[in-house]
Amino acid sequence: MSQELRAVEWTGTGLALIDQTLLPQRTETLPVHDVDTLVDAIQRLVVRGAPAIGAAGGYGVALALLQGEREGWTEAEVRAAVARVREARPTAVNLMVCVDRVMTRFAEGLDAVLAEAAAIQREDVEANRAMGVHGAEWLLKKVGADRPLRILTHCNTGALATAGWGTALGVIRELHSRGSVEVVYADETRPLLQGSRLTAWELVQEGIPHYVQADGAAAGTILRGEIDAAIVGADRIAANGDTANKVGTVGVALACADAGIPFLVAAPTTTVDLATATGAGIHIELRAETEVLEWAGHRTAPTESRGHNPAFDVTPGRLITGLVTERGVLEISAGELPGDRLR
């Protein structure tokens, strides 16, 4: 990619979000100047991916201040608007962490708020770059193959899902830059197709060879020995290493464990929630039934059917060979727990 993609950008007066619901058919930017539009954008997945919604949420504090000034809000009203941004989606802890971090500068006013939000964005890109190197080196050593790797990934964890570069996709990009990627298997990621629409699009931009496969194909591909390792991102990681990520992730982890190949989670420490002891404490977002009962706006399931649509699942830490953060790799299944190592 000649110029690094920016899913979230502060324009000076508001946010410009790449509308990820339209990709890959259309590349359009949604201008955001008020809190309602931001909350709606986060909930409709115009902006998505844990670090990207964290970055957008950070700037949401600035939006609330500016809107409050325009519309004559009291401080309590501005704070209530910020709370709505913070709660727009429940699973990714980055959203809450970033909003809370920016709120520590609230009393200092708009410039301080904007500086903190920008620092979050900058640090996320730096963390992703560091993760790329740590993850690539660990993986090359672990797999020990003297040939390019065949890697499976689930959902989208690239520049679109972060402030830039990517987490799991950042590791893949780093491996690719070293000539160490034979092919990426991108799970399509039902029901909203972040894999086939967004990951495949980013892989095309990067010139990385890939297949898009149905989520249901993943376990078979792994068990047939067609994959060397799987790398995914995370929305929240509990102190014991249990990890919430896009629904379908736990099946990939189970298949990797059975096949005896590495299952890697790549996420910045802003995704680690040491206040949550285990995965049982992670709030899993349940999304609209229509997302699984319809296809492209047309009903496909019988009208009598109900839909079950959890957006995420929890992979137990015992199935996670390595957790890559900007600080290095923790071998969770071997007992290196975030609660002990990242406090």
Tokens describing residue 327: 């600080």
Q: How far apart are CB 119 and ligand MRU at their closest, in Å?
A: 19
Task: Give, in degrees to the nearest 5, the angle at Cα 242 between 320 and 41.
Answer: 110
Alpha helices by DSSP H, listed for 145-282, are 168-177, 200-206, 218-223, 249-259
Work out whether strand 243-246 and strand 210-213 pair parallel, antiparallel, or are unpaired: unpaired
326-335's contacts with Cβ under 8 Å and 24+ in sequence apart are 326/126, 326/127, 326/128, 326/130, 326/131, 326/134, 326/268, 326/269, 327/130, 327/134, 327/269, 328/134, 329/134, 329/135, 329/138, 330/241, 332/241
Complex with ligand MRU: residue 78 or 314, whichever CB lies closer: 314
Q: How far apart are CB 215 and ligand MRU at their closest, in Å?
A: 13
The active-site residue, picked from 215, 235, 242, 273, is 235
Complex with ligand MRU: residue 49 or 132, whichever CB lies closer: 49
Beta carbons of 43 and 88 less than 8 angstroms apart: yes
Complex with ligand MRU: residue 155 or 323, whichever CB lies closer: 155
The binding site for ligand MRU (CB under 6 A) comprises 45, 48-51, 92, 155, 157, 161-162, 167, 194, 233-235, 245-246, 311
Cβ-closest position to ligand MRU: 233
Q: How far apart are CB 192 and ligand MRU at their closest, in Å?
A: 7
Complex with ligand MRU: residue 233 or 279, whichever CB lies closer: 233
Beta carbons of 254 and 195 less than 8 angstroms apart: no
235 classed as catalytic: yes
Q: How far apart are CB 50 and ligand MRU at their closest, in Å?
A: 4
Q: What are the catalytic residues?
A: 235
